[in-house]
Chain A
């Protein structure tokens, strides 16, 4: 039933725009893969190529090792939730949800009663059973979205494709639906490709995340990988609230040792990293706001910083700090800390970095240094 999806070197252009740029992606059997990226990066287009709604200019699409590049959507056995719902306006919610089964009624050997029973089940799951007799025009955005989801969930295809299926729900319902959806996917084990630009959603639901930018896939990995070991500065800055701090640094050769030289920071680069580097190279130092400790007093390996702004965030605080030793220049980092004590702008504090959780990127290519 369930399947592996493999995209091989896919390119899709719309006129001059390269919507999908040499994408290679393998989605494993039963996997919940999230396509994450900013608006316009090609997520929907990628999904449509898998569905067969768009034909790639280059590359092949495989479902279960079968080349489906030239197959029509209906011969691919996929179900899709559309970003703008695409509900049939002339059919009731019940018939909208039933549609994919009614189309295949003969193949599946189902009676109308059986189909409507299934409709009721999915409707209950998505809490829309009292809407079944309405037309889509009489529903709110969130309700329409759940109907669209139900229409995909009613079938057990090889692959589920979901294009931002929860984007229009209110916060609480969205949280509940994430859990429901994830549980259902686990239970039935259908390979799922899920598009979102909400990183929290991606991190909480995905088995693996594929981060896209400008038509390319920048990194594929588990949420932990993506969060802790970004392979590209784009991933580092796209994920996390606030995102990873990026500080411009250069390498410096002293006593045959390579040093990292950043505003307010001076540190030897470990030899296993240093062997890939030269002198006078521009690097980007990345540190997550939550992996920095704030001290009142200077310590052996601390960085002096001046508080510019304090943003309270519930039980936590986000401090905007200037770590540049010169007062004229500004190198701003954000730090997340418990609101256990009071900080005020103008105050000087001392930062201690967790050097095991630091990332280094080549400033030219943006790629992470091993």
Chain B
């Protein structure tokens, strides 16, 4: 390419890229670096004190792992990090199978687009409102879930779930299923739509049953969609904050604490920026597990 053309191209590239780079550098990258730096700051220079402090913290409202007085087989609190992990472990499989199952069945359902729209609502509403609605669903006086168990005569589950350590965490996780299944359903529905019918027809001709078709043909073909759902759900679960903040504030007794909330507690309540930053860094590093998976996939499909 000629020098002139190259110089002109360089100008265009710079002009188009500069605003973005400036904003990202100042308000995204520098703050991220800043958080790293702050997390290593101690009274006497730099060190790992904050990390040590955050990880060994035992008070139930700030513990990442294993709060004080823990006995075996005890209900939560188990520590925020564990709560996040439990969240992922329960939430991801339910969301995957519920979304995929409904998407697969929708083919035969009357008014399937209405079903899809209803399920998608959870993706559209503010998470704060979502948290309030979860609180409402599990409210002893008004909520549907406790009412259902009252009708079934199970007294222990007919009270306000969110007020008791035994049920609070699971209530929130189930609530997040309610909010997030729409995402998985939508991804799977789109993927199923783009799936050539001939595969399923071929399997039918080969004599496969409905279940076999689903597990042996459809599910493997939707691998890409599944990976997307798993990655995005994990990222979402790890960052979870609004729902918890507005419905339980981490309570009762730290039973629903999550990483993001601990970070906020150090920052806004304890005014301990070092530990707050250390918590944020730990959260970010954990998020990089699904994050790097995501990046690898993008870079591979891009080339």
Contacts and interface: CB of A to CB of B under 8 A. Distances in A.
Nearest to A52: B5
Nearest to B3: A70
B295 interface: no
Contacts, number: 14
A322 interface: no
Nearest to B5: A70
Interface string A44-65: 0000000000010000000000
Contacts of A213: none
A105 B65 CA distance: 71
A330 interface: no
A145 interface: no
Interface in A67-124: 69-72
Q: Is the interface of A mostly helix, strand, loop or mixed?
A: loop
B1 A55 contact: yes
Q: Is the interface of B mostly helix, strand, loop or mixed?
A: helix
A277 to B, nearest CB: 47
A128 to B, nearest CB: 34
A72 B8 contact: yes
A71 B8 CA distance: 11
Contacts of A72: 5, 8
7 contacts: A55-B1, A70-B3, A70-B4, A71-B2, A71-B4, A71-B5, A72-B5
A72 B3 CA distance: 12
A36 B190 CA distance: 44
Top 10 closest pairs, chain A to chain B, by CB: A70-B2, A55-B1, A70-B4, A70-B5, A69-B2, A72-B5, A70-B3, A55-B2, A55-B5, A72-B8
A72 B5 CA distance: 7
A70 B5 CA distance: 6
Interface string A295-307: 0000000000000
A70 B3 CA distance: 7
Contacts of A71: 2, 4-5
A247 B61 CA distance: 93
Given A70-B1, A71-B4, A72-B8, 9 more contacts: A55-B2, A55-B5, A69-B2, A70-B2, A70-B3, A70-B5, A71-B2, A71-B5, A72-B5
B303 to A, nearest CB: 13
Give the interface residue-count category, chain B: under 10
Among B3, B4, B5, which residue has the most Cβ atoms of chain A within 10 A?
A: B5
Interface of A: 55, 69-72
Contacts of B5: 55, 70-72
Interface string B1-23: 11111001000000000000000
A69 B5 CA distance: 10
Contacts of B1: 55, 70
Interface in B170-188: none
A72 B7 CA distance: 12
A362 B34 CA distance: 75
Nearest to B9: A72
A70 B9 CA distance: 12
Nearest to B8: A72
A55 B1 CA distance: 5
Contacts of A70: 1-5
Contacts of B4: 70-71
A55 B5 CA distance: 10
B55 to A, nearest CB: 51
A55 B4 CA distance: 12
A113 to B, nearest CB: 34
Interface in B1-58: 1-5, 8
B5 to A, nearest CB: 6
B12 to A, nearest CB: 11
A6 B8 CA distance: 25
Nearest to A69: B2
A158 B1 CA distance: 22
Nearest to A67: B2
A70 B8 CA distance: 11
Contacts of B3: 70
Interface in B157-216: none
Contacts of B2: 55, 69-71
A352 B229 CA distance: 75
B222 to A, nearest CB: 30
Contacts of B8: 72
Contacts of A69: 2
Contacts of A55: 1-2, 5
Interface string B89-113: 0000000000000000000000000
A53 B3 CA distance: 15
A38 to B, nearest CB: 29
B119 to A, nearest CB: 32
A72 B6 CA distance: 10
B144 to A, nearest CB: 47
B37 to A, nearest CB: 44
A279 B8 CA distance: 61
A70 B2 CA distance: 5
A89 B140 CA distance: 57
A72 B8 CA distance: 10
Nearest to B1: A55
A8 B5 CA distance: 20
A75 to B, nearest CB: 10
B131 to A, nearest CB: 42
A69 B6 CA distance: 12
A69 B2 CA distance: 7
A232 to B, nearest CB: 33
Nearest to A57: B1
Nearest to A72: B5
B173 to A, nearest CB: 46
Nearest to A68: B2
A136 B203 CA distance: 39
A72 B1 CA distance: 10
